[in-house]
Chain A
């Protein structure tokens, strides 16, 4: 078996708050092959963002990675020392965040912010780094790239800023790009452009992508495989087409049903999942989705279903799948 690019094994990230221990990520495992695009889907609070920040080791107090391994090409990020970590961050694994309006430093020029990353990881001199920055701005299709280098973030629109973020992320040829809800804060019309850009460039740069989103529509057109998270756990993972055609976990099924369809008659009710996600502080025994699950049996409320293979490449954590 070849070595996976990224292999997350039994990751557990907890937040030690005043009201109790928030188990934001609990026993999460998945992997990513080189050049592959993996979608991580879940509603807010499902732990998908915390997972991505854990991979970057950007979890701060009161949060802490309390268990598991994050193997990046065989090296465990969870145990890595600060120096090695700085080489990985930005150099090998780069990240794009949700809100482009606040993710760029307002007092530094865009060119500087790209060149800074380049200088750190590719050890280029100032001039070469600026050239690289200009090249990257062109690659993310910002017009008049060289002139725009000296502009400040507030002189760019939201979509443009997210392009700048992509430029920063890809400037050092990372092997893995983590995009945490990269289009959520953008206008619908811009969303598709930015997604296309990420898709195209990651192919061009041969970068594997971990796409975090709450939008199954985004996953459908972009990802090779999908991991579905619920209440800090992985409930299903499958190749994209399998997931859409034959979802195993009732939660995935409910999510798919919740997508409004144009072929339904106007005026018909939208499908919503009744109830609310559980508190991550006092998780009930058994399957976390059981209280909201239409198929739940007595066993589901007592025993936690393990993540098991249910079909070709498809795994689900459910006693009564399909």
Chain B
């Protein structure tokens, strides 16, 4: 069960690794090195901004760690241990030094836990929820979008696109409380209901958060797909395909759909990357210990190493996904040459 529930994560990871290797073979190391340099620069930028923001945030990060009976000398020791007694540039330099050794340091608030271990428990949870929602949203949203485009101007088109826009517009910090209030009511009346929140007790707990995220993303992908399909269906080559006497199904799926995939991939790439940060509100409201929950809580506690860790893995994920997207472009559209 454990392996099975992490299957989507594993599959995506394998696919990403395969694509990076494939890209290295196909377009040579120079391209990869250029991308790597870009990544290093972005990493430098995001960690620096994060560091400065964390540095100016008022409050002491290690007060809690020290506990209630904290003496000034103990506090001073803790400051020393975490290098917080150094000037800001030395603190950042220390951090960077750790980073190049793949050492993200220890959490300020969770005693004895490395940032890596916090990321290691949080990211899979977030990714599992995020990827499941993405897959469902695509499976439902893309066909709706195609259908709406093929029947542009009909009642189905107008109705489904209106609903999609409304679904996409409702923020999760509104829909989740509403879901929870309804669930509370159901449970008070002894009616069957899904868990209000929680994680790790029963597999059914994943249903509500995934469903809520799916609904939001579904609206987005349905609308995106409709717009691009409509654009493609107006192209001359679609008319050529129709003039050949191809059935409507073939025209739509063989000739139009493949051309509509490029914008879709452009949207999915970053979406997969940001899956690793988790959906903040979903994790907060459902009490899911994913990385989104962790990082927001860490900002509140001034636990900057954990925040830095999150920011770093997102930056890396974005860079990797951009690479993947470029590769997929090359496969989808023979006109695009990766360079």
Q: Which residues of A contact B (CB under 8 A)?
A: 56, 58, 61, 85-91, 94-95, 97, 99, 102-108, 116-117, 120-121, 152, 154, 165, 168
Q: How many residues of B contact A (CB 8 A)?
A: 21
Contacts of B235 in A (CB 8 A): 102
Contacts of A95 in B (CB 8 A): 243
Inter-chain CA distance A58–B236, complex, in Å, is 12
Contact A116 B244, beta carbon cutoff 8 Å = yes
Closest to B241 in A: A105
Contacts of A152 in B (CB 8 A): 334-335
Contacts of B334 in A (CB 8 A): 106-107, 152, 154
Q: Which residues of B contact A (CB under 8 A)?
A: 153, 235-237, 239-247, 254-255, 258-259, 332-335
Closest to A88 in B: B245
Contact B259 A90, beta carbon cutoff 8 Å = no
**B-side interface mostly:** helix
Contacts of B258 in A (CB 8 A): 107-108
Contact B335 A99, beta carbon cutoff 8 Å = no
Contact B240 A104, beta carbon cutoff 8 Å = yes
Contacts of A168 in B (CB 8 A): 240, 244
Contacts of A108 in B (CB 8 A): 254-255, 258
Q: B245 touches which one: A87, A106, A107 (CB < 8 A)?
A: A87
Contacts of B335 in A (CB 8 A): 106, 152, 154
Contacts of B237 in A (CB 8 A): 102-106
A160 to chain B, nearest CB (A): 16
Inter-chain CA distance A87–B332, complex, in Å, is 30
Closest to A105 in B: B237
Contact B244 A90, beta carbon cutoff 8 Å = yes
B245 to chain A, nearest CB (A): 3
Contacts of A102 in B (CB 8 A): 235-237
A184 to chain B, nearest CB (A): 13
Inter-chain CA distance A165–B236, complex, in Å, is 12
Contacts of A99 in B (CB 8 A): 236
Contacts of B241 in A (CB 8 A): 105
Inter-chain CA distance A154–B236, complex, in Å, is 15
Contact A105 B244, beta carbon cutoff 8 Å = no
